[in-house]
Amino acid sequence: MNRQNPEEKKQFVREKFSSISKDYDFLNSLLSFNIDRYWRWVTTRMLREFPEGPVLDLCAGTLPLALELTRQAPDRQVLAVDFCEDMLRAGIKTLPRDDRPRRIQPVSGDGEKIPVAGSSVWGITVAFGVRNLSRTDEGLREMHRVLKPEGKLLILEFSRPRNPLIKPLYNFYLNRVLPRLAGLISGDKEAYEYLAGSIAGFYEPEELLQMMREAGFARAFRRPLTFGIVTIYVGVK
**Shorter beta-carbon distance to ligand SAM: residue 17 or 217:** 17
Minimum distance between the CB of residue 164 and ligand SAM, rounded to whole angstroms? Answer: 28
- Residues 143 and 152: their CA atoms lie apart, in Å, by 10
CA-nearest of 54, 55, 58, 154 to 113 is 58
Residue nearest to ligand SAM (CB): 61
Contacts of 140 (CB under 8 A, 6+ apart): 130, 211, 212, 214, 215, 217
Residue 65 binds to ligand SAM (criterion: CB under 6 A): yes
The residues that bridge with 155 in the sheet, in sequence order, are 126, 233
Residue of the chain from 60, 78, 154, 174 that contacts ligand SAM (CB under 6 A) = 60
* Interaction mask 2-21, ligand SAM, x per CB under 6 A: --------x--xx--x----
Amino acid at 224: P
CA 195 to chain centre: 13
For the CA atoms of the chain, what is the radius of gyration?
17
**Shorter beta-carbon distance to ligand SAM: residue 87 or 212:** 87
Residue 194 binds to ligand SAM (criterion: CB under 6 A): no
- Residues 82 and 60: their CA atoms lie apart, in Å, by 5
Minimum distance between the CB of residue 36 and ligand SAM, rounded to whole angstroms? Answer: 7
Residue 153 binds to ligand SAM (criterion: CB under 6 A): no
Interface residues toward ligand SAM, by CB under 6 A? 10, 13-14, 17, 59-61, 64-65, 82-84, 87, 110-112, 127-129, 132-133
